[in-house]
Every structure is written in structure tokens, then in C-alpha cells.
Amino acid sequence: MTAPGFADLYRWDVRHIGRSPLLWAVLLILGASFVWGAVSTANLHRAQAEAHARLALREAAHDEDLHRRIEAYRTPVTAAAPAIPYWQDPSNVSGFSQYFLFRHATKPHLPLSPLALGVSDLAPNWLPVKLNSVAGTDERYDFENPRGLALGRFDLGFALVYLLPIALILMFGLLVTFERDHGMLRLVAAQATKPRTWLATRCAAILSWALPSVLLAVLLALAAAGTHLAEAWPELLGALLLIACYTLFWSGVAILALSRLPSASGAIASLATVWILLALGLPLAGATLAAILDAAPSSSQRVDLLRRTNDAVQANRNTLLVRAFAARPDLRDAAYRIADIDHATRLSFLTPEIERRMAPLDRAIAGHAERQARTAAIAGYVVPPLGFAAALAELAGTDAQRQHDFMAKARAYQLALRDYLYPLVQHEIACPTPAPGMPLRGRFTFSRQGELPIFAFTAAPSYIRTAAILPLAVWLALLGAGFATLGCVRADRWPVDTA
Amino acid sequence: MMSGLVATELLILRRDRRAWWALLALAAFILLAFTGGAIDAARGNADKAGIAAAERSRWLNQGVKDPHSAAHYSIFAFKPAPALVGLDSGAMPFVGQAVWLEAHHQNDLLHRPQQGASLLQRAGLSSPAALILGIGPLIVFLLAFTLVARDREQGTMRLALGMAAQPRSLVGSKVLAIWGAAAALLVVPVMLAALLVSGTSGLLTADAVMRLALWATLMIAYLALPAAIGVLVSLRATSARIALALLFGGWILFVLVIPRAASNAADTFRPLPSSQQVQQQMLDEAPAYWSAADSERHKRELLIRYRVSRIEDIPNPRMAELDLVERQSHRVFDRILGGFYGRVAGQDRLFASLGFLSPTIAGQALSASLAGTDFSHQRDFIDTAERYRRALVNCMNADGMAHRAGPQTPHTNDARLWSEIPAFSYVAPTLGSQNATALPALGALLFWLGGACGLLVLAARKIAP
């Protein structure tokens, strides 16, 4: 008897599987979940972008208001209109630095952001930048319902990472085992076809329908979410490649689980166990282990240290100022003014000192975060759903690294503002701006409110993000191919009860 | 006779290695999740208690200063983790743990445990409740499939039914065996562990015991649902394949998809204003640093309030103005922030009501409410801390206003005044006092349980060899 070739069987299987209502029902539901997820994430990101736009308008309105106030204070002092206290006077450079600086750092979303929520629901995407906040910006976040955060949002990333494998499990588990569960496998086994050829062609046929449908559904979902696909084509190509490799990985797992041609119940039970292990069990065990082996420095301890440091610095502020003045040639002769300088001017000396004292703990916190990020990156290769989720977020620009870069940029912006304003504030100690002949209500030691440094957060080029996910894509493809090969090798005999 | 049947079914279950080992593995994961959560909570609570004591000491020993400066110095208040946080962390990883109770500001609670979490930390975030409510049904379905659908497929069910005096008792024994095994392995060990941990850490109050008992009852009752549905579907499906597809599909739909989709729907139908809008509104209406024009307006208000014609006739005009602004800000905070938190609670109520779409939603809402980890409990802490802040700031301002002072003759006070402020202490609300989300969820869960049991009884009546 001549065995049919792979191509003949494949052609037959593709036609046969393509007529399966189950296949299309699963793919349709999956596609709908992609659209829901992408639109949901796009709505969140749109709301965040609107907040950024409102902030820009508020900054402009604030600047205009300051201008109006400054003009209003350009009037002579009278009994009815006394001099303005420095903390109410935007024309006073020290008052401006502490009480009128209204600038924000914003993290714009990238064109492909609906692909994955990443950290965009949890991490702040805008920060008020104040001159004297310790070590960057004050901690803040956009309030999202914590129940929703705990449950997780239904986003496209969730659908791809968790629902796509389940859909593949259902399709492979039910379509490959159809003959066995209906007692027809013994008819197949009676032919000259080898079990591995039969398994390989059936799985290839399922994949031939599933993979293009999934990729097309992702494109449709992104388009439905309002993504300008042409603006992000390198990331989009990377995403499609990544999704294809993830699909191959789960297909490989399915082929391995089906290699002994089990019943549907056996196949689905095995595959569901693998899914639970990879999606929940290993991340849970990994996170618990990482927390035990490398516990995070306590945030409460940081509060305590900050309070103690503030107290210590305030208690010795005059000593610290004397030392700071002595070290500066331009201030050396102005030490007699230390008792008179205002709170904002004092802060320009004391805040860097507080930061210096807090630095060891802040470095420890940053070091812990870096170690955790490295552990998560390695875990991504051991637990593919984790790695896949991280790679999707990277392509979407909602990843933890981009957030980290944003926070670093916000800190750099704060330092740039300090470099601009601190010298002007401190210059007033030794060389105060001469008061005009007729005393005015405002102090008028600062007139460059509109020339402050501007915050800019430029995204890394898209090819860098695309290139960054390639190693994982290759790894997933290799794993998938390896599992599939192993499965085909194991599928060397028909099940005993069908032979 | 029933106990003998149940014992036999349990024996059959244990012989199916795949289903039994899956159940044991889930039980192990539940204990692992509890251990991680309990260690975190114990560590965090110890830290918070130590630093809260240090804060109190700092407050009392801040030295001689202007009372309003003391109100700015103030204290940080820390929210202790509730006794049952190891069982269900609920909203806790995503809400702040500490708040600075300073003058002029109702600050947000900061230091959310998950704020800077890596992907592994967030993906690995789980709790016994999440595992029982999420993965429990899948494992129970697997057990039901093993005991019923496979029996039917292999023909052994027909034989057993033919020999049984009461076929219904056979169905009942299968449900009881599945339910009993799941409850005994998934709920009882973690309940005992929680009892032990709470007892050794001094958190075992009568309220905690009651909450624990109800939480365990909830979980056991919840597991009855997949046991009944699993047996029902396995009995009625035309084949084992169909039964499996229905059970697996049902699990995906009711556990994975609907809860997240319902959460999105709650966000969509009852949207929250953005934090930027809320903060901007507070900044506009209750600025911590007001303008010279505002000062003029305040002066006019104070002249009317004190019924004097000159500001100098007010004993301490600066403090009077601070008090005026502070009290105005309270009304603004109540309206803006109070309204905002009310909308969050409204979202949670809507989500709990959607428990009629999926029992998992009802279980999640009830479990977090019983564990004291939902937003209503967080809101209670926020309100308690804010009441304390207002009392502290008002007391400091009142002391200032009671003493004549001016720019050249400032008024100061010392530890005698600071010690008049009691230490901040927080007692979590008792069971039943924060049940806005629990009641609709309870109704939904009872609806599901009643429906599933009713359908199972009907199916059992119709069963024939």
C-alpha cells in the first residue's frame, strides 16, 4: 500500500479544517476580544493624552496669569497697596522658584500603544516638576480604580498573552482528537499513513488557518482602535513577527502534548495544566522567590529617613549655610546675611544636602528595581508568556524601561531648572538687584519667566524597539520548532486502543 | 449509604492522577500565595508600627515653634494591613499605604506596593482568593469531568445507575465528593494557616475570626457552584468532548473574560474624571499659596467675621487668615475628593452588581469585602486620617488665634500643646459596616448557587440508566 504524501494529506486537512465551525467560532471570539482589548487601551491612552493637552493649556494660562500679576505689582507702594510678600510675588526670583514654578514632565504615547497596556495603567505618565522636591519629582500617580488594577484590564496584550494560547489549546485539543474520540482513528491507523505524518499535517492545517487569522485580527483590532499603522510600521512588523513566534511556541507545545494522540479530555487537561503553570504558577513562584531572596527596601523606611534627614538638616541649617557660603567665593563675604535669607533661598542650599544624605537609600532602592527588572527579563525566557508580555509592551512603548527613562528625564529636567534658577536665586544674596527709585509692590528681581528650560521626552527610534524583541522572537520560534520536532518524533505509534 | 458512595467516588478521584495532582498542585500554590502575602504583610506592619511610633515621638519633641509650622510638620499616618490580607490582597497592592497629614493639603496616600513592580512581580501577584476563584473552577470541572463524563463515555455510569436504588444519590455523591475534595484541599488548609498566622501575630480579634469564618464559608460555597455545574454539564452533554468543550469554554468566559470585561464596562459606564482634572480643580479652588488679591478678600471676610474695622484689632490676623483658608479648603476637599471617591465606590457597586453575569465577580467582590481589602475599607482609612488632620490643624490654628501676635511678636508653643493631640491610631471597620459592594455580590452569588443547584436537581430527577 502506498502512503499518501505530506502534501496530499495537508491539502485535504486544510480543506477539512477550514470547514470546521469550531475553528471559526474560536477565531471569531478571539478576534472580538482583540478588538475590545485594543479599543479599551486606546481609550485609556486617549484620556491620558487629553490630560497632557490640558496640562499644556494650564501651563500657558499660568504663565499669562503670572504676567498679569507682575504688571499689576509694577505700581508704587502705598498704605492701601503694600509691598507684596515674596511668596506671593512672581517677580521675586526666590518666590518664583518655590511658589510659582508650574512645569510638568509628560510621557506621550507612541503610535502603537493600543497593542499593550504595559505599565501605563499604573505608572504616572505626567509629573509636576518642582524645584525643591527631593531626588526628582514627588511621588504621584493617576488614580485608577484599584479593583480594576488588581483584576487587570482587558487589553489586547492580555488577549494575546493569555487568551490566544487558550484558543490554540481548544483548536488543537478538539480538532486533532476528533477522529480518536469518534472511533475513526483505527480507520486512519489501518492506512499506510504514519502517525507523525498524520499529526504533523493536521497541526499544520490548523496553523495555516489560525496564524493568518490571528495576525489579521490583530491588524483589524489596532485599526479599530484608531492606530495609524503606517506611522509605526517597524514596530508593527516586529509585533506581527512576535505574535507569529508565540503562536508557533504554543503550537509546538500542543504538538508535543498530542504526540501520543490522546483523547480530547487528555489533551486539553495536559495543555491546560501547562497553561496554568506558565501563566500563573511559575510567575507566582518566581515572584515569591524573588521577594524572599531580594526583599525590596521598605518605602516606609524611606519616609522615616527623609523625616530624620529633614530634621537633622533643619536643625543645623545655619551651620550648613555657613559652610556652603565659605566654599563659594561669590558668597564668602555675604555670610552676615544668612539669618535674613528667605525659606526658598535656603532650600536652594539645603535640598541638595538632603538629597546627598538620602542618596545611599535611594541608590539601594534603584539597585533593587534594576535587579528585579533583570530577573524579570531572564524570567521572560523561562516563562514565555512573561517575555511575550514584556516584548509587546516594549513595542507599544508602555514598558517599564521607557517609564524608567521618563522618570530619569523628569529628574534631569528638574536639575536643568535648578541650574537655571538656583544661580539667580543665590546671586540675590551677595548682589541683590537694586530697588527702583520709587519702591514698587513687586520686587522685580526676575523677568525671564518665559525663558525656562522646556521638557522634552523623545522616544528611542522605532528600529531599536523592534530590534530589542528579536532575540525573544527567535527564542520562541526555536522553542516551538523544538517542541514540534520532539512531538513528531514521539508520535511514532498509534495509540494501543486504536491500533 | 451516602457516605459510602462519597468515599468510593473520592477513591476514584484519587486514582485519576492527572485530576488529583492538579488539585494538589493548586492547593500548594494557594499556600505559597498565602505565605508570600502573609510575610509581606507582617514585614510591612512591623515597619509601619515602628515608624508610626517614631513619628509620634518626632511630633512630641519638635521643640518650640509657631503652631502653624507644627501643623505643616505634622505626622505621616500609615495604614496597617488587615488581618486577612494574606487570604485576599484585594485592592491593597494598588492603593497607597502612607499619607502626610499636613496643613492646607488633603494629600493622596502614597507608596503603593505595586507602583514600581517589575513585570514578574505584577504577573506573580496572586492570593489564595484569586486562585480559588480563578483556577479553582477549572480544577473542579476537571474533577467533575473525570467522575461523570468519562464514566458516561466508558459505559460504567450506565451500569452504576442500573444497580443504584436511587440514581439521584449517585449524582449527589459525585457532587459531594468533588465539592468535599476541593473544599478540604483548597480552602481548609489556608483557612487554618490564616488562623495560625493571625493568632501568632496578635491580630485574632473576634471580628477577624468572624471574617475568616465567613470568608471560608464563601469560598466553600463558591466551590459548590463549579461542582454542580461540572456534574450537570457532564450529565447532560451529548458526549464527553462536548462536555469538555462546554466546561472549558465556560471557564474562559465566566472566569477570564467576563470579570475583566465587566471591570472595563464599569469604567466606561461610570467613568472617573482624570487625576489631572481633580488635582487642577483643587489647586484652583483651594490653593495652598494664595495671591495678594486673595489676601485682600480674606482680610475683608475677617473684618466681617470679627466685627472690627481694622485688621490690627484681630488678636492674630495671620493665624485667623490661615484658619479661614483651611476651613474653606475642607469644603472644597469634601466636594471634589469626596465626590471622586464616591464615584469610585459607585464603580465598585456596579461591578459587584455585574455578579449576576459571572459568579466569579460576585466572589471577588465578597471576598475582598470580607478580607477588608476593598476600596470601601481604604476609603474608611482615608476619611479617618483626614478627620485627624483637620482636628490637628484646627487645634494648632485655634491656639494661634487665641494668642495676640504680629510680625514682630510671633506666638510659639511647645510640647504642652503638641501632647494635646492624641496619637494617630486606626481601627479598621467592623464586619458589616462597609457592605455597599458586598450585598449585591451576595445576592448574585445566591442567585447562581440557587440556579445551579436547582438545575442539578432537575437533571438528577430525569436521569435514567
Question: What DSSP letter does each residue of B32-43 carry, written as one string?
Answer: HHHHHHHHHHHH
Helix, strand, or coil (residue A444): coil
- Does the beta carbon of A88 lie under 8 angstroms from any beta carbon of chain B? yes
**Stretches in chain A below the pLDDT threshold 50:** 499
Contacting residues for B219 by C-beta, under 8 A, at least 6 apart: B129, B132, B133, B183, B186, B187, B363, B367
How far, in Å, CA of A84 to CA of B172, rounded? 84
Where are the extended beta strands (E) located within B36-155?
Answer: 76-78, 98-100
- Backbone phi, then psi, for B98, in 5-degree steps? -145, 150
Best residue in A185, A303, A309 to probe B by mutation, most B CBs within 10 Å?
A303
- Which chain A residues are Cβ-neighbours of B72 within 8 angstroms? none
If contacts are CB pairs under 8 Å, which of residues 162-181 in chain B contact chain A?
Answer: none
Contacting residues for A170 by C-beta, under 8 A, at least 6 apart: A22, A26, A268, B245, B248, B249
Neighbouring CB atoms inside 10 A of B364's CB total 29
Residue B378 near residue B91 (C-beta atoms within 8 A):
yes
Contact at CB, A170 and B259, closer than 8 angstroms = no
Q: Nearest-CA residue of chain B relative to A118?
A: B119
B310 burial (CB, 10 Å; 0-12 / 13-18 / 19+) is: exposed
- Does the beta carbon of B351 lie under 8 angstroms from any beta carbon of chain A? yes
Q: Nearest-CA residue of chain B relative to A175?
A: B241
Chain centroid to CA A189: how far?
51
Mean pLDDT along residues B28-38: 92
pLDDT one-digit tens code per residue, B302-359: 999 999 988 888 989 999 999 999 999 999 999 999 999 999 999 999 999 999 999 9
Q: Nearest-CA residue of chain A relative to B368?
A: A147
What's the pLDDT at B433? 85
- Please check the confidence at residue B262 and state whether its pLDDT lies above 80: yes
* Of residues B124, B261, B272, nearest to A286 (C-beta): B124
DSSP letter assigned to residue A76: B
Of B203, B123, B231, the closest CA to residue B463 belongs to B231
Of A171, A87, A172, the closest CA to residue A343 belongs to A87
What's the pLDDT at B464? 66
DSSP letter assigned to residue A128: E
What's the pLDDT at A292? 83
- Which chain A residues are Cβ-neighbours of B121 within 8 angstroms? 287, 290-291, 372, 376
Best residue in A134, A278, A288 to probe B by mutation, most B CBs within 10 Å?
A288
**Residue B104, CA distances (Å) to A41, B178, B332 in order:** 36, 58, 11
Contact at CB, B115 and A380, closer than 8 angstroms = no
- Which chain B residues are Cβ-neighbours of A291 within 8 angstroms? 36, 39-40, 121
Q: Nearest-CA residue of chain A relative to B378?
A: A146
Mean pLDDT across chain B: 91
What's the pLDDT at B362? 96
Residue B50: all three cell numbers together: 515602628
pLDDT one-digit tens code per residue, B188-214: 999 999 999 999 988 889 999 999 999
**Residue B239, CA distances (Å) to A271, B26, B117 in order:** 20, 28, 46
Of A8, A481, A474, the closest CA to residue A205 belongs to A8
- Please check the confidence at residue B465 and state whether its pLDDT lies above 70: no
How far, in Å, CA of A106 to CA of A457, rounded? 8
Give A222 or B115, the one with higher predicted confidence: A222
How far, in Å, CA of B283 to CA of A408, rounded? 26
What's the pLDDT at A130? 93
Q: Nearest-CA residue of chain B relative to A171?
A: B245
What's the pLDDT at B201? 86
Contact at CB, B29 and A153, closer than 8 angstroms = no
* Of residues B260, B347, B375, nearest to A153 (C-beta): B260
Residue A383 near residue A278 (C-beta atoms within 8 A):
yes
